[in-house]
């Protein structure tokens, strides 16, 4: 039986557990291996795994980056819209929570839904810009599933695929992607004309490769129509699912892309900020999840030509999937991303 | 950043790794990232050069409180002695920010056009 000290850490679902330093090192090595094996990226270096171990094995309640190493925070979906109202939320995050970028959003958080209330959103954004000093972007999701029946006009590919009706399922996704791209660009142009600093396409690829195609097509259209507009593309997961399987952007097949490949397409499409996302395994430890996240995203951060704002919200980027985010784990995730990935923001 | 409860997520990230928004110069660096696509070192250096500071000053709230006051870039107002009714704030401050950073700010351009100034 080991006499090694047991150190508190977290499971991916946020619950407390204790591990020894040796167990944490083993989890980190396993997380690195899981990422490198799946995505064919290099493992973290020994220095990087040692530093991650030091971050995880501290007994401190809180962890932080070095003075002078701070990064930009783009806070998508700013506020809960329940206590202060939308403009109050934006001001609260600006004045009291140190937000570098705030985001106006509709509770539905879907461009398809927003399109129907765009005049109200535009006016709300204009009013907010009169009161804010920090940059304000508008955010929503491509949310491709909304375009399929019964919620939308297109055949439901999730029903067609199990029936083996592959060609019809693919055609439906292609039609939906065109509709989504048009809606996103329409909303973006509308809020740009009302004074937005940027647009946030959040959870790109959530419905697979056609979802990402819609976002890339929209980003291209936004860049053409609104040249000065910030365009943040945040991903839904580490690998693009091939729900269609044959879709391409500028000759690159979208299905199966990893963060370092995704970021190049985002930049080529006109995005000015890219947000990689790595989903947490809620049955694994914080050290395992952080190691896997960092390994998957390191080539992305090294190779990117545009700022990388790592997604470190609930259930992504090593942050536990817990409604009440434990600050010990959240702060460790933030520090690890800054120290080891050299991210441009979170 | 991503979703989560404000204290556990947003405040935690801000204290662990954030530039501090307009407590310091995070909003200014963010503007260079958003609209110019600058990566962090380049964005920090650009803003620092425009303000005559070092990049590390940009995250330092006491330093930036003074600089923002001198240049009219907007300050946090939380009551007591920290109220600045005679200084630029919000849209007024964004006019100054656009000028100091030498970058167009969309809502400033539109305000200028709509107000005929």
Domain that holds residue B105: 27-74+84-115
Same domain, A256 and A346: no
- Number of independent structural domains in chain B: 1
Are both A266 and A292 inside the same structural domain?
no
Per-residue pLDDT for B1 more than 80?
A: no
Three-state SS at A196: coil
How distant, in Å, are the alpha carbons of A204, A302, B15, B21, B43 from that of B39? 21, 11, 21, 17, 6
Whether residue A111 sits in one domain with residue A51 = no
Q: Identify whether B42 is part of a domain.
A: yes
Pair (A90, A217) in one structural domain: yes
Q: Does the CB of A312 have a partner CB in chain B at under 8 Å?
A: yes
Number of domains in chain A: 2
**pLDDT confidence of residue A218:** 98
Cα distance between residue A52 and residue A289, in whole Å: 11
Look at residue B74 and tell me whether its pLDDT is greater than 90.
Answer: yes
Mean pLDDT of chain B: 95
pLDDT at residue B3 is higher than 90: no
Report the residue from A65, A74, A192 with minimal CB separation from B17.
A65
Of all residues in chain A, the one with the smallest CA distance to B26 is: A100
Instruction: Tell me which chain A residues have a C-beta less than 8 angstroms from the C-beta of B62.
Output: none
| CA angle A9–A14–A19, rounded 5-degree value | 20
- pLDDT at res. A1: 65
Q: How far is CA A125 from CA A96, B92, B107, in A?
A: 20, 17, 10
In a domain, B60, yes or no: yes
Query: How far, in Å, are A258, A330, B27, B105 from residue B97 at the CA level?
Result: 37, 32, 10, 8
Same domain, yes or no: A115 and A191: yes
Residue A307 near residue B40, CB atoms below 8 Å = yes
Q: Say yes or no for a CB contact (<8 Å) between A307 and B94.
A: no
Looking at the structure, do residues A133 and A55 belong to the same domain, yes or no? Answer: no
- Per the CB < 8 A criterion, the answer to whether B6 and A99 are in contact is no
> Is A64 inside any structural domain?
no
Residue A139 CA to residue A231 CA, distance in Å, equals: 10
Which stretches of A64-208 are DSSP H helices? 86-96, 111-115, 118-131, 157-160, 166-193
Question: Which among A305, A309, A135, A308 is positioned nearest to A228, based on CA atoms?
Answer: A135
Q: Report CB contact under 8 Å: A344, B10.
A: no
Q: Which distant-in-sequence residues (6+ apart) come within 8 Å of A166 by Cβ?
A: A160
Does residue B46 belong to any structural domain of this protein? yes
Range with the lowest mean pLDDT among B16-20, B74-78, B110-114? B74-78
Residue B16 lies in a domain: no
Domain annotation covers residue A313: no
Domain that holds residue A143: 70-275
A65 inside 8 A of chain B by CB = yes
Start-to-end CA span in chain B (Å):
37
Strands (DSSP E) found in chain A: 6-10, 16-20, 102-110, 136-141, 198-204, 230-235, 248-249, 252-253, 273-275
Would you write out chain A's pLDDT as a tens digit for each of its 346 residues?
678 999 999 999 999 999 999 999 999 999 999 999 999 999 999 999 999 999 999 999 999 999 999 999 999 888 888 888 999 999 999 999 999 999 999 999 999 999 999 999 999 999 999 999 999 999 999 999 999 999 999 999 999 999 999 999 999 999 999 999 999 999 999 999 999 999 999 999 999 999 999 999 999 999 999 999 999 999 999 999 999 999 999 999 999 999 999 999 999 999 999 999 999 999 999 999 999 999 999 999 999 999 999 999 999 999 999 999 899 999 999 999 999 999 999 9
Could you say which of B6, B16, B36 has the minimum Cβ distance to residue A64?
Answer: B16
Q: Please report the residues numbered 11 through 70 in chain B whose beta carbons come closer than 8 angstroms to any beta carbon of chain A.
A: 11-23, 26-27, 29-31, 33-40, 43, 55-56, 59
CB-based contact A74 B30, cutoff 8 Å: yes
Residue of A nearest to B16 (CA): A64
CATH code of the domain containing A188: 3.20.20
Asked whether residue B31 is assigned to any structural domain, the reply reads: yes
Same domain membership, residue A242 and residue A129: yes
User: Rounded to whole angstroms, how far apart are CA atoms A344 and A106?
Assistant: 27
Using N-to-C axis directions, what is the helix angle for A166-193 and A209-225, rounded to 10°?
30
Residues A117 and A25 in one domain: no
Same structural domain, A9 and A139: no
A141 and A253, same structural domain?
Answer: yes
Residue B19 lies in a domain: no
Instruction: Say whether pLDDT at B104 is over 80.
Output: yes
The DSSP code for A211 is H
Q: Give B53 to chain A, closest Cα distance, Å.
A: 13
A212 and A134 housed in the same domain: yes
Q: Residue B4: pLDDT above 80?
A: no
Is there a domain that residue B100 lies in? yes
């Amino acid at each position: 039986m080991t006499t090694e000290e047991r150190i508190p850490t977290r499971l991916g679902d946020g619950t407390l557990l204790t591990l020894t330093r040796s167990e944490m090192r083993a989890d980190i090595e396993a997380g690195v291996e899981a990422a490198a094996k799946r995505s064919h990226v290099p493992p973290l270096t020994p220095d990087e795994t040692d530093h991650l171990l030091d971050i995880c094995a501290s007994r401190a309640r809180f962890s932080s980056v070095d003075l002078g190493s701070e990064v930009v925070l783009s806070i998508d979906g700013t506020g809960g819209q329940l206590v202060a109202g939308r403009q109050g939320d934006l001001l609260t995050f600006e004045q009291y929570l140190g937000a570098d970028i705030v985001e106006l959003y509709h509770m539905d958080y879907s461009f398809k839904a927003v399109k129907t209330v765009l005049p109200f959103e535009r006016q709300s954004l204009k009013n907010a810009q009169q009161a804010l000093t920090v940059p304000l972007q508008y955010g929503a999701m491509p949310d491709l599933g909304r375009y399929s029946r019964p919620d939308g006009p297109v055949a439901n590919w999730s029903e067609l695929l199990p029936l083996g009706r592959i060609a019809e399922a693919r055609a439906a996704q292609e039609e939906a992607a065109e509709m989504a791209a048009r809606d996103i660009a329409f909303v973006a142009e509308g809020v740009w004309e009302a004074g937005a600093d940027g647009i946030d396409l959040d959870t790109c690829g959530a419905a697979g490769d056609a979802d990402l195609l819609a976002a890339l097509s929209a980003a291209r259209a936004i860049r053409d129509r609104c040249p000065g507009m910030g365009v943040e593309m945040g991903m839904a997961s580490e690998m693009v699912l091939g729900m269609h399987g044959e879709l391409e952007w500028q000759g690159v097949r979208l299905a199966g892309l990893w963060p370092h490949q995704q970021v190049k397409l985002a930049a080529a499409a006109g995005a000015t900020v890219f947000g990689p996302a790595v989903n947490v395994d809620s049955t694994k430890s914080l050290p395992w999840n952080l190691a896997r996240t960092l390994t998957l995203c390191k080539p992305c951060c090294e190779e990117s030509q545009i700022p990388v704002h790592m997604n470190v919200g609930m259930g992504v980027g090593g942050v536990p999937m817990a409604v009440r985010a434990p600050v010990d784990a959240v702060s460790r995730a933030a520090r690890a991303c800054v120290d080891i990935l050299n991210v441009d923001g979170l | 950043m991503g979703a989560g409860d404000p204290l556990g997520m947003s405040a935690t990230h801000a204290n662990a790794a954030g530039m501090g928004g307009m407590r310091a110069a995070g909003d200014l660096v963010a503007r260079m990232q958003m609209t110019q696509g600058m990566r962090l070192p380049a964005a920090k250096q650009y803003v620092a050069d425009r303000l005559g500071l070092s990049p590390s000053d940009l995250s330092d709230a006491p330093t930036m409180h003074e600089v923002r006051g001198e240049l009219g870039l907007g300050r946090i107002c939380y009551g007591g002695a920290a109220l600045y009714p005679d200084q630029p704030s919000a849209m007024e401050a964004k006019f100054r920010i656009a000028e100091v950073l030498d970058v167009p700010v969309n809502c400033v351009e539109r305000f200028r056009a709509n107000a005929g100034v």
